Amino acid sequence: MALPKIDLPLFELTIPSTKETYTYRPFTVKEEKVLLIAQESSELQQVILAIKQIVSNCVNDIDVEKLSLFDLEYVLLTLRVKSVSNNVKFSVVDPDTQSTVELELDLDNVTLTENEEHSQKVDIGEDAFLMMRYPSVNELIYLQDSDNTTETMLSTMISCIESIVSGEEVYKTEDFTMEQLQDFLDTLPSKSIKDIEKFFTTMPTLRHEIPYKNSNGDDKLFVLEGIQSFFL
Q: What is the sign of the dihedral through the CA atoms of 208, 29, 46 and 203?
A: negative
pLDDT tens-digit series, residues 11-23: 999 999 999 999 9
Residues 179-184: contacts with CB under 8 Å, at least 24 apart: 182/154, 182/158
| Confidence band, pLDDT 50/70/90 cuts, at residue 176 | very high
User: Structural domain boundaries of the chain?
Assistant: 11-112+205-225, 121-201
pLDDT tens-digit series, residues 103-141: 998 888 888 888 999 999 999 988 999 999 999 888 877
